[in-house]
């Protein structure tokens, strides 16, 4: 497969959509990003990377970090995570509060904010340094030792994080937070602020295409666990648009409000696309269209 030619075709096909939608506005540091950026990369399971457009430009990784913290907790934990967070689509926006009270403080899945806060809480309990453990993992898998948090984004998240405070304190009231809430939130805000580019992300996510095997050949997840993470990405990774994303793209995927999306074809490749204009559900307009074109042109999807 000539991935470079496919990416160039995809970029040309979606060019009219780049700039559609609106960058996330609820975090000022994200609202300032140029909506006309577009980058896309693919890595095969051996780590050969191709890219197009702004694929080497760093952006704020945001909710995509939820995939990596979940994988780390599954790898390091005691196997009881799923007692504290579910694995069903929520059908609600990623920062919704309403379901939590009906469901006794157990979030529907690890990819909505409430679920990700539970996962970060567990990672903090397991390691004593959730954000540091995440950054070390991302550096190792991407081969980029220069990866860093963006303090401006982290501070902006914290200053405008009232919803996340509400979610975390509510879960604490239900007994579903182990650590001090303020500490969990601090790690979560910094976690979201990691700056990476499409190249870094396709390499960092590669263990999901390699059935749990890391870049250095060691195993992070069992084959079953890698399947489980991919399955939850497929059903819950793009929030209340997960059904439409599966229909259009046909791959496990995870989006973030910076306008980035990763997608995984187990056994074959990982994809990352970035374009900051979001649709009403918080997914990149040009990004979803580009992934849709990629699987259509290549005929390579899990279906």
CB 203 within 8 A of CB 142: yes
* 270 contacts ligand DON (rule: CB under 6 A): no
**Which residue, 39 or 276, is less far from ligand DON as judged by CB?**
276
Pick from 257, 262, 271, 288: which binds ligand DON (CB under 6 A)? 257
CB of 283 to ligand DON, least distance (A): 7
Where would I find the H helices in 55-197?
Answer: 65-76, 98-102, 113-127, 130-142, 151-159, 162-173, 181-192
Beta pairing partners, 148: 195
H helix count then E strand count, the chain: 14, 8
Q: Which of 113, 124, 176, 275 forms a contact with ligand DON (CB under 6 A)?
A: 113
d(CA 157, CA 155): 5
Residue owning tokens 């995870």: 254
In whole angstroms, the minimum distance from the beta carbon of 159 to ligand DON comes to 12
d(CA 203, CA 42): 9
Which region, judged by CB under 6 A, interacts with ligand DON, from 127-135, 137-145, 221-229, 249-257? 249-257
Q: Is the dihedral of CA 154, 193, 66, 241 positive or negative?
A: positive
CB of 281 to ligand DON, least distance (A): 9
**Per CB under 6 A, 109 contacts ligand DON:** no
Annotated binding site: 63, 113, 157, 164, 188, 239, 257
Residues 131-190 that bind ligand DON (CB under 6 A): 157, 164
> Taking CB under 6 A as the rule, which mask of x and - marks residues 53-92 in contact with ligand DON?
---------xx-----------------------------
H/E run at residue 285: helix 285-298
**Residue found by looking up tokens 């529907």 in the block:** 108
Using rule CB under 6 A, residue 282 touches ligand DON:
yes
Please choose, out of 46-54, 143-151, 219-227, 255-263, the segment that lies near ligand DON by the rule CB under 6 A.
255-263
Binding flag, residue 250, ligand DON (CB under 6 A) = no
| Residue among 95 and 295 whose Cβ is closer to ligand DON | 95
Contact with ligand DON (CB under 6 A): which of 35, 39, 256, 259? 256
Q: Binding of ligand DON at residue 275 (CB under 6 A)?
A: no
> Which string of b and e fits 127-159 if b means at least 16 CB within 10 Å?
beebbebbbebbbebbebeebebbeebbebbbe
Residue 117 CA to residue 160 CA, distance in Å, equals 16
Binding string, residues 185-224; x marks residues near ligand DON by CB under 6 A: -------x--------------------------------
159 contacts: CB under 8 Å, gap ≥ 6: none
Q: ∠ at Cα 123 (197, 94), nearest 5°?
A: 60
Query: Which residues here bind ligand DON, judged by CB under 6 A?
Result: 62-63, 94-95, 113, 157, 164, 192, 255-257, 282
């Amino acid at each position: 497969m000539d991935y470079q030619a496919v990416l160039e075709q995809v970029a040309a096909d979606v060019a009219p959509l780049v700039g559609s939608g609106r960058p996330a506005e609820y975090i000022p540091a994200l609202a300032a990003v140029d909506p006309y950026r577009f980058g896309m990369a693919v890595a095969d399971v051996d780590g050969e990377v191709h890219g197009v457009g702004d694929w080497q430009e760093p952006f704020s990784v945001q909710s995509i970090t939820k995939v990596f913290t979940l994988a780390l907790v599954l790898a390091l934990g005691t196997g009881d995570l799923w007692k504290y967070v579910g694995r069903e689509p929520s059908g609600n926006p990623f920062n919704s509060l309403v379901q939590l009270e009906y469901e006794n403080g157990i979030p529907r899945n690890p990819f909505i904010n409430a679920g990700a806060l539970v996962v970060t809480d567990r990672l903090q309990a397991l390691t004593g340094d959730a954000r540091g453990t995440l950054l070390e993992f991302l550096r190792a898998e991407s081969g980029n030792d220069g990866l860093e948090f963006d303090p401006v984004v982290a501070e902006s998240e914290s200053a405008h994080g009232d919803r996340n405070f509400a979610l975390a304190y509510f879960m604490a009231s239900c007994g579903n937070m182990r650590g001090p809430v303020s500490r969990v939130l601090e790690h979560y805000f910094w976690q979201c602020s990691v700056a990476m580019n499409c190249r870094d992300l396709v390499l960092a996510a590669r263990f999901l295409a390699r059935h749990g095997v890391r870049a250095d050949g060691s195993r992070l997840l069992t084959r079953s666990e890698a399947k489980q993470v991919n399955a939850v990405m497929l059903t819950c990774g793009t929030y209340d648009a997960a059904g439409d994303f599966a229909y259009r793209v046909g791959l496990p995927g995870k989006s973030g409000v910076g306008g980035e999306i990763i997608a995984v074809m187990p056994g074959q490749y990982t994809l990352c696309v970035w374009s900051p204009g979001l649709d009403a559900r918080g997914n990149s307009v040009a990004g979803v269209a580009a992934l849709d074109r990629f699987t259509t042109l290549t005929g390579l999807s899990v279906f």
